[in-house]
């Protein structure tokens, strides 16, 4: 397994809509393993393929509580098919926007259809943290970021900060 570089703001690839995965093969399984390694090392609870420079509809996650055994899952071409009525507010962070946390209100439960790592169609019901993580990562597949839930002023301040950091890193 290889730890991949996580792309950060302001890289424009983060705003791309990811293309569907065409086939589940050894290369895709290797990418999933590398993404899990990267996510755990970060540390994070979810990672979309676009965050490691692969704009495909693939995400990995592990919403196990601290101290619990790992429960990694890969969702290929995920599609939310139902959301619950009850909303939940959760303070979200993002590996592509380090040190930024945003309170976001999302549906507290959902059903998602996807293809598993063996190429089989699956559907799961999720609630709580798992539902939040799935929605956050699917947002990445649509080119949406947590800062899109902020006011334009706050979003612009964060984007300027990351652009300035990127220019400083390019000069160094």
Strand partners, 87: 107
Distance from C-alpha of 147 to C-alpha of 149, rounded to nearest angstrom: 5
Distance from C-alpha of 20 to C-alpha of 78, rounded to nearest angstrom: 9
Task: Tell me: cis bond preceding 10? Omega within 30 of 0 counts.
Answer: yes
Distance from C-alpha of 91 to C-alpha of 76, rounded to nearest angstrom: 26
Annotated active-site positions, please? 137
Distance from C-alpha of 38 to C-alpha of 80, rounded to nearest angstrom: 25
Q: Which two tokens stand for residue 88?
A: 């939940």
3-class SS at 83? strand
């Amino acid at each position: 397994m290889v730890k991949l570089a996580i792309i950060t703001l302001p890289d424009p690839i983060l705003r791309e809509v990811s293309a569907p995965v065409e086939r589940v093969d050894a290369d895709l399984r290797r990418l999933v393993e590398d993404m899990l390694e990267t996510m755990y090392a970060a540390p994070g609870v979810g990672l979309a393929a676009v965050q490691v420079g692969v704009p495909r509809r693939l995400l990995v996650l592990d919403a196990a509580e601290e101290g619990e055994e790992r429960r990694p899952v890969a969702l290929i071409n995920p599609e939310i098919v139902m959301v619950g009525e009850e909303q939940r507010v959760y303070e979200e962070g993002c590996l592509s926007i380090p040190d930024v946390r945003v309170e976001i209100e999302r549906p507290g439960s959902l059903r998602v259809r996807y293809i598993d790592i063996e190429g089989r169609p699956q559907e799961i019901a999720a609630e709580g943290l798992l539902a939040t993580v799935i929605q956050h990562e699917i947002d990445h597949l649509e080119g949406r970021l947590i800062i899109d839930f902020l006011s334009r002023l706050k979003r612009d301040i964060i984007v300027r900060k990351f652009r300035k950091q990127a220019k400083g890193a390019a000069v160094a």
